[in-house]
Structure 1
Amino acid sequence: MHTSFEIETDIDLIEHHLEDILGLIEADKSDKFSLFRGNIGKALFYSYAFKYTNDINHGMKAIKLIEKSANHLLTGQIKAQNIHLLSTGFTGFGLVINQLKRDEIFDLELEKELAAFDSVLYNTALQEIQQGNVGFMLGPMAAVYYLSQRTLANPAIEKYLETIVDALWKVAIRDDKGLRYINTFSSTAKPRLDDTVLNLNHGFCGIALVLLEIYRLGICQSKIYTIVNEGIHFLLSCKRPIDFAKGHYSFFPTCIDEQSPIDSEKNQLYYHAILGWCNGDLNQILLLYTAGKAFKNQSYINIAEEVGLASMLRKTPEQTKLKNPYFCHGTSGVAHIYKRIAERSGNDAYLSAHNYWIQQTFDYITEAQTNNSYVESAGHLIDGAMGIGLSLLSHISEEELKWDNLLLL
């Protein structure tokens, strides 16, 4: 745990970094309709900067960017084939609007505009799932997640979700090894299209976390219970012991090629996953804690604890593959995820990992500031300065900041 002196030092240092990041975003000239690399992400950042500082200028900038993004949607400038996508589609915009209302930052009068997209998102998501594209970040599951937040606003959505869960049931592979999905999100996909994907951004973890949110609403509980449990059964069949002496740092692979032996060179590479938001053991720790609590399954919670506490031993770049301060593949994201794992598990031991990676983030920011990429990525959320800033805000804020709900945290 931090001493009061360390906390005060963190606040001073973080507020200094936040001023730098705000300056970089202000100077950033990119004008894209995007959550990850554009105006929607900037609106999110300014909104939470406003919530923390009460500086009305940040709030006005957020509103201006939201209005600009809404106009982009309403004038038909978004590509129809992208409408369901998290970053460049309607979904990211809708999730941000929902979250700003939930966190009582802004309650924007956009219900009519949001409602116009419900059936379009449903039909697009259903079609994508039926074609085997089942991922979160580049697939339809972010749109399904968004729809799950609108059941009170639109009663028709409950039926939409029932149909979507049924479609996920039908496209799953089910046998004595368990349940899994072959994600066809891209014809040039890496991993190959016949590899089973287990991670959060493209694979089973992301699917299951969305389904558990629908389960929480009391929708399709029996079918979701089976999908998630059978999927975890397959996931646990892939679990292997860690052995730092042999360079085995991960319990779980990010993907698995079922056509090759588990000890094949290709599958061994899949076990060398980054410690991060998008891939690796932190994904499965979150899933196991969430499913364990939802299903009252102590075995899942025990496995999550085993993997989670062991993951805290990974600290070097070789063990973690962390070499920058960003959110998706960097230290600020790992710090933030450990904070959420501590909350979800009720185990404060994870806060030591959270605090460790916050300190590492300070060092990596200093290093990143020496090259142009830090400035050039100022307007990026998961791979730029905005994601760092939001993670640091969450570290020092006395209020709970739930911006990360957009990312299934």
Structure 2
Amino acid sequence: MWAGGPHHECQRQRHQQQRTATRLSLNDGSILHDLASGRPCTASCVARLSGTRCQGIRSQENGRVVSLERYLKGQGPGGRAALPPGRTHGPEGPWGPSDVTLRPVLRADGRGPFLAVRLLRARAGQQADGLALQAQLLGLLGVLLVHDVPLSLRSLTAFTARPSQPPAFQTDKQSKREPWGCGFPLSSAWKDDMRRAAPWKPLLHGVEHEAAVEALAALVEALSNIPSHSLPLASLARGDAGCAVLFDALARVPLQADAQHRARADALLERATEALATETLGADLYDGFPGIAWAVQRVQPPSESPDADPLTELDAALEDFLQTRPWPHRYDLVSGLVGMGAYALERLPRDGARHCLEAVVARLGELAERTPEGLRWKTQALHVEARLRGEHPEGSYNLGVAHGMAGVLVVLGGAVAAGVARPAARELLEGGWMWFMARRGEDSAPARFPSRVDARHEPLTWPRRPAWCYGDPGVALGLHTLARAVGNPAWETQALALCREAASRWQDVASVLDGGLCHGSAGLAHLYNRLFQTTGEPAFETAARFWFRQLLSVHRQPGQGVAGFRILERFDDGTEGWTDHAGLLAGAAGIALALLAAISPVEPEWDRLLLMSLRPTSLDAP
């Protein structure tokens, strides 16, 4: 028997039971399920959720422990109401949404980290917001159910009271000053995931890594020797500006860094910027002056001083252009409002960028069609591709990232996260999300989301292949990106489920015919790599590596095209043909960028151009 007698032995057994229950509640999630579903839950369950130092939720009157179920129903001990009728406290009240917080805790002896769950108690004269607590628990449950693999540190921060502030690591000594804080011992897998959350890591190893390095070297050599006259000068998607982004990325990677890469990037960018003075350019992101400015911002970040910033005048010109009302042009990423919004997001926090983004949100608000199912944006008939106008004489509703509403939602999410025109952007985003999610197809459909919906009676056009520009992979990643940016756990749960489905649903690999970013294997490989780096889920790692193998073994034919890569393009007359394409969006430069991201430890910030990621911003921005 344990020294100290029967009383101490009883204490030791109870303590051991509590520790065991704590581990079980983390492993199987059953306690969380009981809490969130409103099933009868005693104070001991709350203690098991929150650890040995937390004894449940105490009433504001006499400190007695009450069950969580009764607490959520607004009842104190003996059935007396803990919340007077009609009286609650919202986010501005003393209890708001922070009744439950999560934080990683590192013990003083270096062991851990632990997952700390803190329940705040109601004090005399104050009312606890039971609905806020319930929402927090549901959010926590959603995270545990969605993440079949361990949570990342970034995932945890989404459920703290202030998502913009990452939770600080603290010792047991610091934790003891918070009587309601306690730690769960995490498995080694959880610890590994928390370490992996922040930095970008190489995806490919061994033979796959060697093949990628060899292909990348061939691409870099070929692109270094392409004659200048063979590229459209004024194009981020197809010309010098996009190639400058590639060589800038190479110069940023330690193992690839070379003075020649930096010199090459500067020379390409200088050649592209000459077009600003010599050519008449539109306001398209991918083929107009905002695209060249985006490349300048990426390759040669200007001074923070407006007087020394060469892009200040371009910002002003774009802002003036965005005052056009009613808006007669396209709204999409490639050549419309969404692309201008992506440029503005890259330029924040400069005043000119903020003004441009505010104007983008305003114009999108004016274009939005309000329906009982939510908000939608119409592609007018004159903006429908010429080959499709016969099918859509009154226009259509495009759901893709490149030309449709998925791109709209991501830019609106970026505006909300950055605090720019937040009330208007949030209202548009919520309405757009509702309409968009209502378009999900049945399990028997060719894909989860159609490419287009006709403006008359909603016949659906389904994507021919999985891709970034159209189809489930690009759409799902965009939805996941915006959900994380705005800190909406319910949306993130839905989007992550779509991402998982997209990673496993497509079986017809023969439908992907080339290797470009836009609609080829490099785009699929990179977007799944982005998802893997963000979530740590093995399914995305598997999908990314599969598509990189397709890129290198199927879509690369040495001796052809640019370093073995040819691109299947659709021409203005509707026909298709193979081309030796050097550009970023669909050609060799984009393939090289995807390969570089797969073998290097440097995060590929260039993919913000494709709305695959958003710049980190504070949710508490003004």
Runs of 4+ in 1 over 4 A off after TM superposition: 106-111, 368-373
Q: Which runs of 5+ in 2 are unaligned?
A: 1-201, 567-578, 613-622
Q: 2:516 aligns with which of 320, 326, 345?
A: 326
Does the CA-based 8 Å contact 1:125-1:144 persist in structure 2? Answer: no
Indicate if the aligned counterparts of 1:326 and 1:387 stay in contact, CA closer than 8 A. Answer: yes
Aligned equivalent of 2:232: 32
Q: Secondary structure at the match of 1:57?
A: helix
- C-alpha distance 323-159 of structure 1, shift in aligned 2 (>3 A): closer
Q: In structure 1, what is the equivalent of residue 550 of structure 2?
A: 360
Matches within 5 A, 1:3-402: 7-29=205-227, 30-33=230-233, 34-52=235-253, 53-73=256-276, 75=277, 77-80=278-281, 82=282, 84-100=283-299, 111-127=308-324, 130-131=327-328, 133-153=330-350, 155-184=351-380, 186=383, 188-189=385-386, 190=388, 192=392, 194-243=395-444, 248-261=445-458, 264=459, 267=460, 270-317=461-508, 321-367=511-557, 369-370=559-560, 374=565, 377-402=580-605
- Tell me if the contact between 2:370 and 2:376 (Cα under 8 Å) persists in the aligned partners: yes
Q: How much does 1:6 deviate? A: 6.7
Q: CA RMSD in A?
A: 2.8
The separation in 1 between residues aligned to 2:521 and 2:499, in whole angstroms, is: 16
The 2-side partners of 1:128 and 1:198 are apart by 24
Q: Aligned partners of 2:204, 2:362: CA distance in 1, in Å?
A: 51
Distance, in Å, in 1 between the alignment partners of 2:401 and 2:559 is 29
CA contact (8 A) 1:85 1:92 kept: yes
Against the structure 1 CA distance between its residues 149 and 42, is the aligned structure 2 distance closer, same or farther, given a 3 Å change threshold?
A: closer
Between Structure 1 and Structure 2, which shows a larger proportion of helix residues?
Answer: 1
Structure 1 or 2, whichever has the larger Rg, is 2
Moved more, 218-227 or 301-310: 301-310
Deviation at 1:321, TM superposition (A): 2.6
Following superposition, the deviation at residue 306 of structure 1 comes to: 2.4
Question: Is the 1:329–1:383 contact (alpha carbons within 8 Å) kept by the matching residues of 2?
Answer: yes
Are 2:522 and 2:551, in contact at CA under 8 Å, matched by a contact in 1? yes
CA shift at 1:111, angstroms? 4.7
CA distance in 2, matches of 1:339, 1:314: 17
* Distance in structure 2 (CA, Å) of the matches to 1:280 and 1:194: 19
Maintained 8 Å contact 1:128/1:134 = no
Determine which structure has greater relative contact order: mean sequence separation of CA pairs < 8 Å that are 6+ residues apart, divided by chain length.
Answer: 1
Q: Which moved more, 1:304-313 or 1:187-196?
A: 187-196
Q: Secondary structure at the match of 1:349?
A: helix
My pick for the range that moved more, 345-354 or 324-333, is: 345-354
Distance 1:365 1:128, change over 3 A: farther
Pair 1:32–1:331, CA change in 2 (3 A): same
Pick closer, same or farther for the CA change 1:128–1:314 going to 2, 3 Å.
farther
Q: Which has the higher strand share?
A: 2
Paired position in structure 1 for 2:28 = none
Q: What is the number of equivalent residue pairs in this alignment?
A: 387
Partners of 2:215 and 2:362 in 1: how far apart? Answer: 47
- Structure 2 CA distance, aligned partners of 1:108 and 1:16? 39
Kindly tell me: are residues 393 and 220 of structure 1, through their superposed partners in 2, closer, same or farther at Cα, counting changes over 3 Å? same
Q: Distance in 2 between matches of 1:97 and 1:156?
A: 16
Q: Which amino acid aligns with 1:283?
A: G
